[in-house]
Amino acid sequence: MIVLSGTIGAGKTSLTTMLADHLESNAYYESVDDNPILPLFYDDPKRYGFLLQNYFLNKRLENIKDAQGSPLNVIDRSIYEDRLLFQLNADLERATQIEASIYSDLLNNMMEQVDFSNEAVVKTPDLLIHISVSFDTMLDRIKKRGRDFEQIEQDSSLYEYYKELNERYSNWFDAYNDSPKLQIDGDKYDFVEDDDAANAVLQQIDDKLVSLHLK
């Protein structure tokens, strides 16, 4: 499997579609527009944060099991990011530290049960691709896609949340070592709007896949 990672607005969904089309493989998407809990979370994060995180965990495991039939299938969000996301909510008092600790233990136990062997129900990615974007680019793309519940104008506290989230992603990617990885510069390569940039990004990914003997 190829798994995409990156902060809100990085372009994961767009690159997932583009890459799956390019590789003639299947795309598996994060449950966002059809997620009944996400708008509730943005309205009241303390109440719905733990429920939302477990909803995402369940959906991600389903995607991983469905996608692992081919090393070139593409998933638009990594399960390995979930701890980062929920811990940030706890640190900003949008969830409790007890909830973050319980969730972390749950994630660890689930991954120990399903991962890391040739006969595992779920295996680690063949490649993790991280789209790195600046904070300004992140805010611009969140504004462009226009989901009301994500807009800072609707909730000024989201500014600090987005800023801290973007900063933590860099450290998360540096520390990630569960699989081969590749970082895409989302500021330099606007692959959503620019065909030349899209082709350059796809070439970077092709080169990495060839080096891993996946293509």
pLDDT, one tens digit for every residue, the chain (215 residues) = 899 999 988 999 999 999 999 999 999 998 777 888 988 988 898 999 999 999 988 888 888 888 888 889 999 988 888 889 899 989 988 899 999 999 999 888 877 755 544 555 556 889 999 999 999 999 998 888 878 878 888 888 889 889 999 999 988 999 999 899 999 999 999 999 999 999 999 999 999 999 999 98
pLDDT value at residue 116: 47
pLDDT value at residue 103: 93
| Residues in binding site for substrate | 30, 42, 53, 77, 82, 150
**How far apart, in whole angstroms, are the C-alpha atoms of residue 21 and residue 3?**
15
184: which strand partners? 131
| Residues in binding site for ATP | 6-14, 141-145
Number of H helices, E strands in the chain: 8, 5
200 in Cβ contact with 189 (< 8 Å): yes
Domains for the chain: give ranges and CATH numbers: 2-211 (3.40.50.300)
pLDDT value at residue 119: 54
Residues with a catalytic annotation lie at 76
Q: Looking at the chain, list the stretches that DSSP marks H as alpha helix, in order from N- to C-terminal side.
A: 12-23, 38-43, 45-67, 82-91, 97-114, 135-145, 158-175, 195-211
| Residues in binding site | 6-14, 30, 42, 53, 77, 82, 141-145, 150
pLDDT value at residue 213: 94
- Look up residue 59 and give its two tokens: 């959906």
pLDDT value at residue 179: 92
Nearest to 4 by CA among 26, 34, 29: 29
Global pTM reads 0.87
